[in-house]
Structure 1
Amino acid sequence: MKPIKWGSSFSFVASVLARDVHGRCQGAEVITRDIAIVGGGATGTYAAINLKDQGKSIVVIEKHGALGGHASTYHDPATGTPINYGVQLYYDDQIGRSFFALLNITVSRGTFPDSKTPLYIDFTDGSPVLNYSIPPPGEDYFQALHKYPYLENGLELPDPVPEELLLTWAEYLEQFNLTDEAIATYSRPAVSGDITKILALYVFNNLNTVMLEEELEGKIIVNSNSDLAEPYSKALAELGSDVLLNSVVTGGQRGSKPTDGVRLCVSTPRGNKRVIAKQLVFSAPPVLENLKPFGLDERETNIISQFEGGCYYTGVVTNLGLPTNYSYVNRGQQTESHIASVPGVVMFNPTKVEGTYYYWYTSLSDLTKNQVETDTRDTLKRLQKTVTGADVNAEPIFMAFKSHTPLHPTASADAIRKGIYRDVYSLQGYRNTWYTGSLLVTGSSQLWNITSQLLPRIIAALER
């Protein structure tokens, strides 16, 4: 993807945005805080709770009706049972335990979420993929991973970047004779797009030591009620009116000097608000579409425009018409290593509510809720025709849906080679703005970790 060049038109666009901020918010209520946080997912919520604990005033601007980002929980109306259809577990480390303690949540060691005997099926035609199993990553994968420690908790890459990390994963497996690891690494359910074309760098960044310790060593913590969105509902109660839900920034001005601060116009259900802050934390996915209202300059635009995110969706469905003693996993019948075709449903996984499943869906382009659910229904109708004991007359009922797009925005090999991640890190603090979130890591614990490392710098900037 080529970067967008604003060139000489930048100053004109910026001045239009500045006038727009003033015009839209003229006469609006003013909210003055130390720090404005855009995005109330894992990193935004973590930043808000910890900054407030350290005596800083904050406001969180979240476009959805709840905090939590990828942590999505649906409560079965008949039993009240929580069904987690996004985040499935939390890593057991001090960062996570301290965060839960701030929220007065008691945790204990947990296990991987329960599942049932998997049936591997090609969802494109409903045919079973026989004699298939998924082994865990082996020693060869660990040895390869440990060659690149800088991928474990961010993307602070050496210069030059090792060329093998810019190979596609399929090419890397072949070049380093790791084809025995193909099935283990291709079967990751929470990866968007065509995994054979993902760069090796991103595979190692995602399937890292933290992820493997969760899976292989059970380093997992759970809260007592099993509702993995509880940290975010507790955080919302703690933050109260400092959170603006169902709200979006429609325009922004950010100065180049610390004393200039940040001014935002925010559209909320109760009308426009003017937010005046000393610093801005941007924890939503940093793609161009999300950042346009903030009056990007040419430097910021040329960096941010080189990233694009994966398309990923999750939901809850019942009345599948399939036997309830199995989980159903999408695998290609004729593809290399039985990789599932894209776009499509990744899997249907049973929950503690009999007959109710959560599903994950990946695509190469952004889709609407109706498009995802229509294709998911069509997939279930195909499976009803081929799975023994299925009810072909059952009509699936969709209970919940969440778009996670863009998921873990990525850049091209050429952009990485030219130092795009060096440029990203150089943006920290530029124009009183700080970036944290899934651009650099994916798991909740690692998102909290990189945010915890950033907070002292943000606090220091308040004092300048």
Structure 2
Amino acid sequence: MKPIKLGSSFSLVAPVLARDAYAQCRGAEVITRDVAIVGGGATGTYAAINLKDQGKSIIVVEKQGALGGHASTYHDPTTGTPINYGVQLYHDDQVTRSFFDLLNITLGGGTFPQGKTTQYIDFRDGSPVLNYSVPPASEDYFQALHKYPYLETGIELPEPVPEELLLTWDEYLEEFNLTDDAIATYSRPAITGDPTKVLALYVFNNMNTDMLEEQIEAKIVINANGDIAEPYTKALAQLGSDVLLNSVVTGGRRGRKPADGVKLCVSTPEGNKRIVAKQLVFSAPFVPENLESFSLDERETNVISKFEGGCYYTGVVTNLGLPTNYSYANRGQKTEYHIASVPGVVMFNPTNVDGTYYYWYTSFSDLTKEQVEAETRSTLKLLQKTVAGADVNAEPRFVAYKSHTPLHPTTSAEAIRNGVYRDLYALQGYRNTWYTGSIFSTGSSALWNLTSQLLPRIIAASEQ
């Protein structure tokens, strides 16, 4: 999945196509709102509930059949037990608690999902990685992180951007004598690509104070019923017809003055609908393929074309044929710091249903459900041959799946050095459009905090 460069058909043709697509919506039902929200994941749902609570009319356009984005829950058909196979927890802070209060959700004790002793195995050949453990981040890491407070809740960078943040992570570890933290930092599970080549900026943005507090101080909250997707089912019930599921924007017109507002053509299961709104919140992944229907101008294209997301997939599998008293994590047998090879399964983690595991899978290129499950099955059949006590005749059964691609859009060191994040922040409010989501941070609670800071500006703009 490559970023689309300037001069391609994206920058030259998409605005015309978007205008034509909107024109094709003539005669469709018109939905008039204060704010249109595209994307019903963590930030889109948070924005919708809070804007509605503050008296604003909203409409959410979500391409999937449910709200929730990276929060995925499978309910075991026999016991009804919820099995979370995407987002696993929420950070315990006031913004999170206030959001849950709006949704009338009871919070339970702050503990990590139940785990078991981990077997570290090289999933390429099934060999065990012995005498390996994952230590917590050291005080040296904390001191390095705190040098860049602007990476805690976003990527609003100083100018010039500190050059050390544009080093790859393996270079940063060597440059600043942080190699003792290599295993701790390379063990973050929800990352894509080669972890040694991720820019230091993105490591600090992801492995921030909130994440470290969750790991070290267990500063987390969990829904009392264990269903991590509950905020989104509750939100959908509250929002009702203000959410268009299985729907996509096919064309749009966005004015340059507040009075011009935003007009969108949306394809829904019930046919085309026209949305007329004062402001637009875009919370879907910030990548060209998600924005080409919005009649982008050159200024917007110059920013958006420089980002691409990673490829990540999750699922639930039963009958693994492996002993059920362990977790299984992928680590390289012969790689430095035992870094796992990509592409492949990241880990198999047990759930509260004995014998049922959730797995995460990362890749360099976009894959289909069939490809991910076939590769995961091959990994399990390999482990059945090498793990003591395994059953080589067991046939894995896949019961849930979700693609999280494109995950956490990023860009190059050159683009960052040239001010792409400065230009991204400058787009806030331009053409009555506001951006939020994982382009700025990771973790649901961090995204809710970021969006809460943006809402007053959106509300003010909708009242002009």
Question: What band does the TM-score fall into relative to the shorter chain?
Answer: over 0.9
Whole-angstrom CA distance in 2 between matches of 1:228 and 1:411:
30
Separation of aligned partners in 2, 1:247 and 1:420: 30
Partner of 1:336: 336
The answer on whether the counterparts of 2:3 and 2:288 sit within 8 Å (CA) in structure 1 is: no
After superposition, the C-alpha distances for 1:374-406 in whole angstroms (9 at most, x for unaligned) are 100000000000001111111110010111111
What does residue 358 of structure 1 align with? 358
Q: CA deviation at 1:12?
A: 6.5
Tell me the CA shift for residue 326 of structure 1: 0.4
Structure 1 counterpart of 2:20: 19
Residues 12 and 138 of structure 1: CA distance in aligned 2, closer, same or farther (over 3 Å): closer
SS across alignment from 1:361: strand
Q: Which residue of 2 aligns with 1:323?
A: 323
Which digits, 9 at most, give the CA deviation of each residue in 1:142-167, with x for residues without a partner? 11111111111100101011111100
Equivalent in the alignment of 1:406: 406
CA contact under 8 A between 1:193 and 1:363: conserved in structure 2? yes
- In 2 relative to 1, CA 240–371 (structure 1 residues): closer, same or farther, beyond 3 Å? same
Partner of 1:106 in structure 2? 106
**Counterpart-to-counterpart distance in 1, 2:65 and 2:3:** 34
Matches for 1:221-232 after TM superposition, within 5 Å? 221-232=221-232
Q: Deviations over 1:424-447 (max 9, x none)?
A: 000000011000000010011110
- How far residue 191 of structure 1 moved from its aligned partner, in angstroms, is 1.1
One-letter amino acid matched to 1:304: I
Q: Is the 8 A contact 1:30 1:274 kept in 2?
A: yes
User: Aligned partner of 2:118: which letter?
Assistant: P
The 5 A counterparts of 1:420-435 are 420-435=420-435
What amino acid does structure 2 have at the position aligned with 1:32? T
The CA RMSD measured in Å over matched residues stands at: 1.4
Q: Once structures 1 and 2 are overlaid, which stretch shifts more, 74-83 or 9-18? A: 9-18
Deviations 1:108-150 (A, max 9, x none): 4311111101000000110111111110111111111111111
Partners of 2:11 and 2:311 in 1: how far apart?
Answer: 30
SS class of match (1:325): coil
2:309 match: secondary structure: strand
What is the match of residue 298 of structure 1? Answer: 298
**2:8 equivalent to 1:4:** no
Q: 1:181 Cα shift? A: 0.6
Residues in 2 aligned to 1:277 and 1:2: alpha-carbon distance in whole angstroms = 30
Letter of the aligned partner of 1:421 in structure 2?
Y
Q: Which residue matches 1:40? A: 40
Q: Distance in 1 between matches of 2:44 and 2:322?
A: 39
Distance 1:191 1:12 in 2: 33
Check 1:132–1:10 CA distance in 2 against 1; reply closer, same or farther (3 A cut). Answer: closer
Secondary structure of the residue aligned to 2:231 is helix
Match of 2:118 in 1: 118
Measured in 2, the distance between the counterparts of 1:9 and 1:179 equals: 42
For residues 230-309 of structure 1, the aligned pairs below 5 Å read: 230-309=230-309
> Residue 273 of structure 2 aligns to a residue in which SS?
strand
User: Which position in structure 2 is the counterpart of 1:150?
Assistant: 150
1:76 equivalent to 2:69? Answer no
Q: Which amino acid aligns with 2:286?
A: P
Q: Would you say the 8 A contact 1:316–1:398 is kept in 2?
A: yes
Name the residue aligned to 1:391: 391
For the 8 Å contact 1:3–1:303, the answer to whether it is kept is: no
Superposition deviation, residue 242 in structure 1: 0.3
SS of match in other structure, 1:232: helix
Counterpart CA distance in 2 for 1:109 and 1:349 is: 21
Q: Is the 8 A contact 2:249 2:267 kept in 1?
A: yes
Shift of the alpha carbon at 1:17? 2.5
CA contact (8 A) 2:279 2:458 kept: yes
Q: CA deviation at 1:5?
A: 2.2
| SS of residue paired to 1:264 | strand
Does the 8 Å CA contact 1:254/1:260 hold for their aligned counterparts? yes
Q: How far apart are the structure 1 equivalents of 2:8 and 2:130?
A: 57
Rounded to whole Å, the distance in 2 between the matches of 1:442 and 1:85 is 17
The answer to whether the Cα contact below 8 Å between 1:3 and 1:302 also exists between their aligned partners in 2 is no
**C-alpha distance in structure 2 between counterparts of 1:3 and 1:367, whole Å:** 19
Helix, strand or coil for the counterpart of 2:45?
Answer: helix
Q: Is the CA contact (8 Å cut-off) linking 2:119 and 2:329 kept in structure 1?
A: yes
Cα distance 1:381–1:107, how it changes in 2: closer, same or farther (>3 A)?
A: same
| 1:93 to partner: Cα distance | 0.3
Q: Give the share of equivalent positions with the same residue, in percent.
A: 77
Q: Distance in 2 between matches of 1:221 and 1:69?
A: 19
1:233 aligns to what SS in structure 2?
helix
- Look up the equivalent residue of 2:375 and give its one-letter code: D
What is the deviation of 1:10? 6.0
Secondary structure at the counterpart of residue 177 of structure 1:
coil
Decide whether aligned partners of structure 1 residues 9 and 97 sit closer, same or farther in structure 2, where only a CA change above 3 A counts: closer
What are structure 1's unaligned runs of at least 5 residues? none
Secondary structure of the equivalent of 2:55? coil
1:18 maps to amino acid: R
Report the Cα distance in structure 1 between the residues aligned to 2:17 and 2:108, rounded to whole angstroms.
53
The 2-side partners of 1:378 and 1:33 are apart by: 50
- Counterpart contact for 2:36–2:275, Cα < 8 Å: yes
Deviations 1:324-357 (A, max 9, x none): 0000000000001000000000000000001000
Match of residue 205 from structure 2: 205
Preserved CA contact (<8 Å) 1:92 1:109: no
Distance 2:10 2:38 in 1: 27
Amino acid at match of 1:186: Y
Amino acid at match of 1:462: S
Q: Distance in 2 between matches of 1:295 and 1:435?
A: 16
Please state how far the C-alpha of 1:15 moved relative to its aligned partner. 3.8
